[in-house]
Chain A
Amino acid sequence: MSDYRYDNQTVQGFILSAIFWGVVGILLGLLISVQLWAPALNFPPYLTYGRLRPVHTNGLAFGLGVGAIFGLSYWIVMRLCKRPLLFPKLARVQLWLFNVGIAAAAVSLAMGYTQSLEYAELEWPLDIAIVVLWVMFAVNVFGTIIKRNEEQMYVSLWYIIATVVAVAVLYLVNNLSVPAGWMKSYHLFAGVNSANVEWWYGHNAVGFVFTTPILAMFYYFLPKATGLPIFSHRLSIVAFWSLVFAYLWTGAHHLVYTPLPDWLQTLGIVFTLFLIAPSWGSVVNGYYTVGQDWSKMRSNYLTKFFVLGITFYGLQTVQGPTQALRVVSQLIHYTDWVPGHVHMGTMGWVTMTVCASIYYVIPKIYGTEIYSEKIANVHFWLVLVGQLLFSITMWITGIRQGWMWKATDAEGKLVYRNFVDTIAGNYPYWHTRTLAGIIFAVGMVFFVFNVLMTIRKGRALERSESSAAPAAVTAA
């Protein structure tokens, strides 16, 4: 076990960093949700909605998301390869660089340095730092897998490998730009091409940051936590290959009815519809896995996190393709429906799965149990209610506003000519969203507390063990 101690500390470092950036990102999310209905709470130049929204999205996608992916992937890789990381020191350097990079990213975005490409806002010096980080991650993942002590690679490793290669391709291409200064650059591609490359990237950032690595966690930690084997290995194989093949075709569904050529939009829509199949391959596999013994929902507190997580993944991957259809897109595109959709995935699927994985890993590092299952249950219900309230209100107001934009009278004249009339109706829903965010954030406070108390408990245990150890030696 001592072989793993150093690496376990690195894993814990990534988990704690991810939690820290998660707290920052959620608090900023609350602030910008308030700014939407209280414009006086914009404090230019640094603290306006326009500058802070990217800090919120990047903070959570890269700070919380990628931080957790680094840490939990290392945990999974080590266990599935039956050996410590090949380059433990490199992983530690990666941890420090990660935190410096995210901090610099947050500051640079608030200062207005941005490429204006969604989820790729960071300017080129930070892009280089992220590429370096990713190379470090890739070297350790591949190195450890190649030098593994277990013949077969389990499903989770497939998803981690796919994540490493796909993110590398996506990030490198979309961030091709020509610098005009130290913190200013222009996208290599123009107009429709800029849009097409960006959404090929943007949609697959969702695919390979919020889907494949989270599926790797799901396939590993669900059986570990419940003791139930994955229902079908064959289904895992089919779902994996069809998912990684189909995902890359779908970016253009973000550009329905824009000047992008119609054939490209249609191609994106068709593959998006196909994507339901591999997504539900994992959903079905997850349900049937737990279906081997549903009493785990009661007897094992982590089971419900995974089941609800995969449920929201299933809902997300039906809602997404529905939105891609032209007839639906024309109504809900550009409205609040879309943030409602995104937050079901991030607050439902990603957060549920990541939190459950962290609940599993942290006690294992110290060979102890979670500090409090009761607190974990409170956390579960609060984030569930917060997320549902958030998404449902946004769907309602999205349809409402989309309909107001379209409403015309018998003569073909707009019923709501004045745009602000369509915004005014959003305010009550935006108030509710802030409330939902507060409920979710309180739930996450319970989570953070539980994790920190578990670590404290584990450290106390370690101290008592190490003071006991010399005594044992003398006794021997």
Chain B
Amino acid sequence: MSGNIYSKPVTFAVMATVAVLVGTVATMAYPLLRPDMHVKVAGLKPLPALELAGRDVYQREGCVNCHTQTVRPLKSEVVRYLGNRAQEPTARYSLAGEFAYDHPFLWGSKRTGPDLAFEGWIKPSAAWQKEHLENPQKLVARSNMPAYAFLNGEKVDGEAVQASMRALRRVGVPYTDDDVAGAPQAVQGKTTMDALVAYVLSLGKAVNRGGAGGGEIDLALANPLAHSVEAVVRGKQLFEANGCGACHGDEAKGQEGVAPSLIDDEFGGVKGDLPDAAYFVMIKGGSDAKKALGRPGVPDGGMQAFGSDLKDEDIWAIVSWLRNQKGHEAAEGKHEAAEHPKDGK
């Protein structure tokens, strides 16, 4: 019949090995030699010490079991993970070159929670990330994520980070001697929570996916949509559609320790309101615009820039809604004070 290999175990084993090696060489070994498997985005840097320690925590806690780290080049996915903000079309989804120092890759295979590939752009607020890790259900009521508050009580081990850097250097990640020597200093006193937050905020940042800056700051600019009822309604829709409430609360009243209220009489951490144009440039340019406004706000800032995402008129509509809310709140406050004069409001 079909030869006699079925009575020669050694010959048979050799043939079976050859059979499995053909596909192995073609799809696993050969790609290792190809340039398209060794691309690197310009200016890619190894993770700094704290972020690296955070990546180890991300691995240890098995985050990869529920979170993917690849935005696929699908229209709805690009929109969901805000890749549509990026000006370069190729920066709108995950790129091979971003992962050149990822040992191992952490793309995951199941998206029980959202994808985190662009998390550094989507939720750049360290305060929000920390609060969410401590108690996810506090910020996202229906979430099924476990709470990781225990990380606050755990210090990063500087020597372990050094060992990690040395091992990664052996597999080709270009850590310098200074990086290794400086690692304990860099993570001094930091908790594994700090490290994990730093790592999550670094995701997707190897490629510029940011929007346009705030542009010229002209506080004299008037809201062209002021007093338009239509703009107020549209502004509220835009506020919700762009997920502003995730940090600033559904009614823009802010969330303690996460993001400030947008309808009280403080702006950028200083008492005293600013004109509509200040709101406009903050939404357009994000935390970077704070310096230009001369208001400190939260030290490391967490406001993302919506400049390339939203048209100017959309931003003005959001401002209109915010201003309307503010007026509304103030009026309600007065109303309450009139009804309950004893509260001293």
Q: Which residues of A contact B (CB under 8 A)?
A: 35-39, 42, 44-45, 48-51, 53-54, 112-118, 142, 145-146, 148, 151-153, 157-158, 161-162, 164-166, 169, 173, 178-181, 184-198, 200, 233-234, 237, 241, 244-252, 254-255, 257-261, 264, 267-268, 271, 330, 334-335, 338-339, 405-408, 412-414, 417-420, 423-424
Fill in one digit per residue for B35-66: 1 if any A CB lies within 8 Å of its CB, else 0: 01110000000000000000010011111111
Chain A: CB-nearest residue to B137:
A39
Fill in one digit per residue for B1-28: 1 if any A CB lies within 8 Å of its CB, else 0: 1100011011011001101111110111
Interface size class of B (residues with CB under 8 A): 35 or more
Assess whether A249 is in contact with B167, with CB atoms less than 8 Å apart. no
Chain B residues, Cβ within 8 Å of A195 = 99, 105, 107
Q: Please measure, in the bound complex, the distance between the C-alpha atom of A200 and the C-alpha atom of B105, giving whole angstroms.
A: 14
Assess whether B147 is in contact with A44, with CB atoms less than 8 Å apart. yes
> Which residue of B7, B19, B76, B98 contacts A406 across the interface (Cβ within 8 Å)?
B76
Chain B residues, Cβ within 8 Å of A418 = 243
> Which residue of A39, A194, A234, A247 contacts B23 across the interface (Cβ within 8 Å)?
A247
Chain A residues, Cβ within 8 Å of B111 = 334-335
Assess whether A258 is in contact with B72, with CB atoms less than 8 Å apart. yes
Given A49-B66, A258-B107, decide whether A178 and B10 contact each other with a Cβ distance below 8 A: no
State the majority secondary structure of interface residues on A: helix
> Which residue of A151, A198, A251 contacts B105 across the interface (Cβ within 8 Å)?
A198
Judge whether B163 is part of the interface by a CB distance below 8 angstroms. Answer: yes
Fill in one digit per residue for B64-106: 1 if any A CB lies within 8 Å of its CB, else 0: 1110101011111101100000000000001110111111111
Query: Measured between C-beta atoms, what is the minimum distance from A49 to chain B in Å?
Result: 6
Judge whether B31 is part of the interface by a CB distance below 8 angstroms. Answer: yes
Assess whether A271 is in contact with B74, with CB atoms less than 8 Å apart. no
Query: Measured between C-beta atoms, what is the minimum distance from A420 to chain B in Å?
Result: 5
Q: List 26 A-B contacts (CB under 8 A).
A: A36-B112, A39-B146, A50-B146, A116-B59, A146-B10, A157-B9, A158-B12, A162-B19, A165-B13, A178-B168, A180-B167, A181-B163, A184-B56, A187-B104, A187-B105, A190-B101, A191-B101, A192-B99, A200-B24, A245-B23, A264-B27, A408-B75, A414-B79, A414-B80, A417-B80, A419-B80
Chain B: CB-nearest residue to A331:
B74
> Which residue of B79, B136, B146, B172 contacts A412 across the interface (Cβ within 8 Å)?
B79
Query: Measured between C-beta atoms, what is the minimum distance from A99 to chain B in Å?
Result: 24
Assess whether B172 is in contact with A142, with CB atoms less than 8 Å apart. no
From residue 119 to 145 of chain B, which have CB atoms closer than 8 A to chain A?
A: 136-137, 140-145
Q: Please measure, in the bound complex, the distance between the C-alpha atom of A112 and the C-alpha atom of B77, giving whole angstroms.
A: 31
Q: Please measure, in the bound complex, the distance between the C-alpha atom of A145 and the C-alpha atom of B16, giving whole angstroms.
A: 15
Judge whether B327 is part of the interface by a CB distance below 8 angstroms. Answer: no
Q: Please measure, in the bound complex, the distance between the C-alpha atom of A255 and the C-alpha atom of B96, giving whole angstroms.
A: 12
Q: Please measure, in the bound complex, the distance between the C-alpha atom of A406 and the C-alpha atom of B78, giving whole angstroms.
A: 10
Assess whether B146 is in contact with A405, with CB atoms less than 8 Å apart. no
> Which residue of B27, B141, B160, B167 contacts A248 across the interface (Cβ within 8 Å)?
B27
Judge whether B271 is part of the interface by a CB distance below 8 angstroms. Answer: no
Q: Please measure, in the bound complex, the distance between the C-alpha atom of A153 and the C-alpha atom of B13, giving whole angstroms.
A: 12
Chain A: CB-nearest residue to B81:
A419
Chain B residues, Cβ within 8 Å of A255 = 107
Assess whether B104 is in contact with A115, with CB atoms less than 8 Å apart. yes
Between B70, B163, B241, the greatest number of chain A beta carbons within 10 A of the residue's beta carbon is seen for B70
Assess whether B13 is in contact with A189, with CB atoms less than 8 Å apart. no
Q: Please measure, in the bound complex, the distance between the C-alpha atom of A252 and the C-alpha atom of B243, giving whole angstroms.
A: 34
Give 17 A-B pairs besides A166-B20, A178-B168 with Cβ atoms closer than 8 angstroms. A39-B144, A39-B145, A42-B147, A48-B146, A49-B62, A54-B62, A116-B64, A151-B7, A161-B16, A198-B104, A244-B16, A251-B27, A257-B74, A261-B34, A330-B74, A335-B111, A423-B143
Chain A residues, Cβ within 8 Å of B257 = none
Chain B: CB-nearest residue to A111:
B60
Query: Measured between C-beta atoms, what is the minimum distance from A465 to chain B in Å?
Result: 36
Fill in one digit per residue for B158-183: 1 if any A CB lies within 8 Å of its CB, else 0: 00100110111011110000000000
Chain A residues, Cβ within 8 Å of B173 = 190
Judge whether B208 is part of the interface by a CB distance below 8 angstroms. Answer: no
Given A112-B61, A195-B107, A408-B79, decide whether A258 and B144 contact each other with a Cβ distance below 8 A: no
Chain A residues, Cβ within 8 Å of B275 = none
Judge whether B295 is part of the interface by a CB distance below 8 angstroms. Answer: no
Given A161-B16, A405-B80, A424-B142, decide whether A338 and B167 contact each other with a Cβ distance below 8 A: no
Chain B residues, Cβ within 8 Å of A116 = 59, 62, 64, 104, 106
> Which residue of A184, A241, A259 contacts B94 across the interface (Cβ within 8 Å)?
A259
3 closest A-B pairs (Cβ-Cβ)? A50-B62, A248-B23, A191-B99
Q: Please measure, in the bound complex, the distance between the C-alpha atom of A417 and the C-alpha atom of B81, giving whole angstroms.
A: 10
> Which residue of B16, B31, B80, B96 contacts A158 across the interface (Cβ within 8 Å)?
B16
Q: Please measure, in the bound complex, the distance between the C-alpha atom of A191 and the C-alpha atom of B104, giving whole angstroms.
A: 7
Chain B residues, Cβ within 8 Å of A196 = 27-28, 31, 37
Chain B residues, Cβ within 8 Å of A158 = 6, 12, 16
Q: Please measure, in the bound complex, the distance between the C-alpha atom of A114 and the C-alpha atom of B109, giving whole angstroms.
A: 16
> Which residue of B1, B79, B101, B170 contacts A413 across the interface (Cβ within 8 Å)?
B79
Chain B residues, Cβ within 8 Å of A186 = 103-104, 164, 167-168, 171
Query: Measured between C-beta atoms, what is the minimum distance from B233 to chain A in Å?
Result: 16
Chain B residues, Cβ within 8 Å of A194 = 99, 102-105
Q: Please measure, in the bound complex, the distance between the C-alpha atom of A36 and the C-alpha atom of B98, giving whole angstroms.
A: 31
Chain A residues, Cβ within 8 Å of B171 = 178, 186-188, 190
Chain A residues, Cβ within 8 Å of B21 = 169, 248
Assess whether A152 is in contact with B109, with CB atoms less than 8 Å apart. no
Assess whether B167 is in contact with A185, with CB atoms less than 8 Å apart. yes
Assess whether B23 is in contact with A420, with CB atoms less than 8 Å apart. no
Q: Please measure, in the bound complex, the distance between the C-alpha atom of A51 and the C-alpha atom of B59, giving whole angstroms.
A: 10
Q: Please measure, in the bound complex, the distance between the C-alpha atom of A257 and the C-alpha atom of B10, giving whole angstroms.
A: 41
Chain B residues, Cβ within 8 Å of A414 = 76, 79-80
Q: Please measure, in the bound complex, the distance between the C-alpha atom of A335 and the C-alpha atom of B68, giving whole angstroms.
A: 11
Q: Please measure, in the bound complex, the distance between the C-alpha atom of A45 and the C-alpha atom of B76, giving whole angstroms.
A: 35
Q: Please measure, in the bound complex, the distance between the C-alpha atom of A113 and the C-alpha atom of B60, giving whole angstroms.
A: 6
Chain B residues, Cβ within 8 Å of A185 = 167
Q: Please measure, in the bound complex, the distance between the C-alpha atom of A260 and the C-alpha atom of B93, giving whole angstroms.
A: 12
Chain A: CB-nearest residue to B84:
A412
Given A165-B13, A412-B79, A419-B114, decide whether A53 and B150 contact each other with a Cβ distance below 8 A: no
Query: Measured between C-beta atoms, what is the minimum distance from B204 to chain A in Å?
Result: 13
Q: Please measure, in the bound complex, the distance between the C-alpha atom of A38 and the C-alpha atom of B142, giving whole angstroms.
A: 10
Assess whether A48 is in contact with B61, with CB atoms less than 8 Å apart. yes
> Which residue of A48, A152, A169, A260 contacts B96 across the interface (Cβ within 8 Å)?
A260
Assess whether B37 is in contact with A192, with CB atoms less than 8 Å apart. yes
Q: Please measure, in the bound complex, the distance between the C-alpha atom of A187 and the C-alpha atom of B70, giving whole angstroms.
A: 19
Between A251, A260, A268, the greatest number of chain B beta carbons within 10 A of the residue's beta carbon is seen for A260
Query: Measured between C-beta atoms, what is the minimum distance from A403 to chain B in Å?
Result: 10
Chain A: CB-nearest residue to B115:
A334
Assess whether A54 is in contact with B147, with CB atoms less than 8 Å apart. no
Judge whether B110 is part of the interface by a CB distance below 8 angstroms. Answer: yes
Fill in one digit per residue for B299-319: 1 if any A CB lies within 8 Å of its CB, else 0: 000000000000000000000
Q: Please measure, in the bound complex, the distance between the C-alpha atom of A419 and the C-alpha atom of B10, giving whole angstroms.
A: 56
Assess whether B20 is in contact with A169, with CB atoms less than 8 Å apart. yes
Chain A: CB-nearest residue to B38:
A193
